[in-house]
Structure 1
Amino acid sequence: MQINRKISVIIPCFNGKDFIKDTIHSVLNQTYTNFEVIVVNDGSTDNSVEIVQAFNEERISIIHKENSGVSDSRNLGFKRAKGEFVIFLDADDLLSENFFEAALKTFKEDTSIDFLTVDISNIDENNKPIASEYNYRGTYKNVQNEVVSFKINVSTCPSAYIYRKEQLQKHKIYFNKTLSSPADRYFLLEIGAYLKGGFISDAPLKYRVHPNSMSHLKSKKLVLDQEIFLNHTLQQNILKRSEDVSIFKRKLYYQLFVDFLKLKQPLKAFKYGYHYLTTYINSNN
């Protein structure tokens, strides 16, 4: 294996004091050691920075900026990355200790692969496994279809993916700063449009599930974020197959219909309910 193949680990951090220590340890404990860790401090008001600085590790650097969101943090870290490969690791997730070694082995064996993903197991706030009836994984085949279908066992969490940096640069794929929660999905829709994926079967990600996870906080802001995601995806014509466009519309129209009903915004609920019914009827004709 080539020892000069550096991996850049980009960790966006906003008030991550509870878990970032364990996350960084999961990187430092890797069996492959040629990596850099770029922590992007997104205006944290807790002691996250002090926790990172306490590692006193030359492979760790910190970028400070005012709070501007996770997508902007990931993009800034990516611009500073010096590695041949990049992973966007959330500040509360944990990597298997052989993740880097397994990824580089696969990249070396198949040079046509642009990105890799893994199996995923859920953990709680105390690093204890959370039992599930589903076998979670990232997506690497039929990426756009699996993303727009919102398959329950398919994760879009950035921590579960590692990329050849040059391929992201070549196709100008960055995280959309106008999006928050759906930014992960939009990023993968772009990935699915241009890149070829692969899978690592023996280096699962430990994905943290806790009450403050963004995906678990249903709010007006999150609903409006989904609305922007819908409109932006359709306007940019990013989906390559008409079947996936239809699936995407049905899924988002219905979800927005339900969400706006819950928010007691009947006009918007009616709008998306009407769009859903029209799309559903057309797809069955």
Structure 2
Amino acid sequence: MGVREPKITVLMPAYNAGKYIYEAIRSVLDQTFTDFELLVVNDGSTDDTLSVINAFNDARIIILNQENKGIAAALNHGLKHARAPYIARFDADDICYPDRLEVQYNFILAHPDYEIIGSAADYVDVAGNYVFTNRPVAFSDDEINRLHYKICPFIHSTVFYRKKTITDFDGYNEHAYTYEDHFLWAQIPDNVKVCNLDRSLIKVRLNPESITIDEKWRTYTFRKIKYRTLKNRSISEHDGRRLLEIGRKQHSSGIKEGAYYALLGKKYLWNNYQPAKARENLLKTLSISPFHIKNYFLLLLSFLPEKGLVGFYNAFKMKYEQNQAALSDAEVKRKEFNYGN
């Protein structure tokens, strides 16, 4: 008799996550839904990540070891070995709320026409302190399909999907350095039904050691390649090498810490109005990187009363959305012109 397949594979790539992975694994093992395997892909960690995983005595934990190839390669390796028809993505420094798997599994059973389900998430700092709640920019299938290509529709570690849906598109593109998820969603056609749930199912840890940093801290060349490849839904090996080279040059503690404190400063300003905490973090990032002029501007804004700041933010957001709509309209007209000629 063969081994019975679990209903869900929780897919967790891990690279040098020894500081955080115990809490991440514990949050999965404590789920109210218990019929799952936790597939941890150890991506060549050089710290104590593997020993922390091995400290757990739970048959649901499966470990795959590979040399360090990056998160996209780790995810693809995991997808090949996942035994369940449903995949719950999760990162090794995040924390699941106890009913995360139960909520998403029940939803997909009740709505079998859906293939990808995300959710909101509560963001915490490196110490686990609450910072803000990140609500997705779109929730319904129609809203998500109308998003501008520059906007990522899902918070990756909240996503729950049918394995076959993703493997049919050959999984994650390993050239899309740090935006392998966004690039994947760009490949998904409109007839694949997707949504986001309007509740937080996980805690996402903002972590200065992560390879992902605030996009504002990426170079112009990096952003240019990223958005061109997203728009064209195509990325070359050459593009991948350039992105990786830029990313490695930015993989320094100074840049990553500066980006981390800048992000905290912005979130305590725009998303969870605590001006004293915003100033504290903005001053830290300016001490690390004094030439990021925008952070001086944010520091000045932190002295505005909340009402004035909200008004400024809403005006800025409206202008941004109008610009994105204009870009989308121009693109539609260009396509119609090309088709007609």
Fold-level similarity (TM above 0.5)? yes
Equivalent residues in 2 for 1:40-189, closer than 5 Å: 40-131=41-132, 135-136=135-136, 141=141, 142-146=143-147, 148-150=149-151, 156-169=154-167, 171-189=168-186
What secondary structure, in the 3-state scheme, does the structure 1 residue paired with 2:154 have?
coil
1:23-45 Cα deviation digits (max 9, x unpaired): 11111010010101111111111
Tell me how many residue pairs correspond in the alignment.
240
Does the aligned pair in 2 maintain the 1:117–1:200 contact within 8 Å? yes
Range that drifts further, 201-210 or 6-15 = 201-210
Stretches of structure 1 that go unaligned for 5 or more consecutive residues are 239-261, 263-275
Structure 2 counterpart of 1:189, one-letter code: A
In the TM superposition, what is the alpha-carbon distance from 1:131 to its structure 2 partner? 3.6
Partners of 1:66 and 1:223 lie apart in 2 by: 31
Taking structure 2 as the reference length, what is the TM-score of the superposition? Answer: 0.61
1:178-232 Cα deviation digits (max 9, x unpaired): 0121212111212354521134345522111122233326699865554443343
Does the aligned pair in 2 maintain the 1:39–1:62 contact within 8 Å? yes
1:8-64 Cα deviation digits (max 9, x unpaired): 011111101111111111110100101011111111110100000110221111111
Does the aligned pair in 1 maintain the 2:7–2:36 contact within 8 Å? yes
Taking structure 1 as the reference length, what is the TM-score of the superposition? Answer: 0.72
Structure 1 consecutive aligned stretches of length 4 or more whose deviation exceeds 4 Å: 136-140, 217-225
Structure 1 residue 196 corresponds to structure 2 residue 193? yes
Range that drifts further, 74-83 or 155-164 = 155-164
Does the aligned pair in 1 maintain the 2:118–2:154 contact within 8 Å? no
Partners of 1:84 and 1:46 lie apart in 2 by: 32
User: Equivalent residue for 1:11?
Assistant: 12
Partners of 1:72 and 1:138 lie apart in 2 by: 28
User: Equivalent residue for 1:248?
Assistant: none
Does the aligned pair in 2 maintain the 1:14–1:42 contact within 8 Å? yes
Structure 2 counterpart of 1:78, one-letter code: L
In the TM superposition, what is the alpha-carbon distance from 1:135 to its structure 2 partner? 3.7
User: Equivalent residue for 1:246?
Assistant: none
Quick check: which one's helix share is greater?
Answer: 2
User: Equivalent residue for 1:247?
Assistant: none
User: Equivalent residue for 1:250?
Assistant: none
Q: CA RMSD in A?
A: 3.3
Partners of 1:118 and 1:92 lie apart in 2 by: 18
**Cα gap change, 1:160/1:121 in structure 2, threshold over 3 Å: closer, same or farther?**
same
Max radius of gyration: which structure?
A: 2
**Cα gap change, 1:20/1:28 in structure 2, threshold over 3 Å: closer, same or farther?**
same
What secondary structure, in the 3-state scheme, does the structure 1 residue paired with 2:88 have?
strand
**Cα gap change, 1:231/1:148 in structure 2, threshold over 3 Å: closer, same or farther?**
closer
User: Equivalent residue for 1:255?
Assistant: none
**Cα gap change, 1:135/1:200 in structure 2, threshold over 3 Å: closer, same or farther?**
closer
Partners of 2:138 and 2:67 lie apart in 1 by: 31
Bigger RCO of structures 1 and 2 (CA < 8 A, at least 6 apart): 1
Structure 1 counterpart of 2:36, one-letter code: F
Structure 2 counterpart of 1:195, one-letter code: V
In the TM superposition, what is the alpha-carbon distance from 1:236 to its structure 2 partner? 3.8
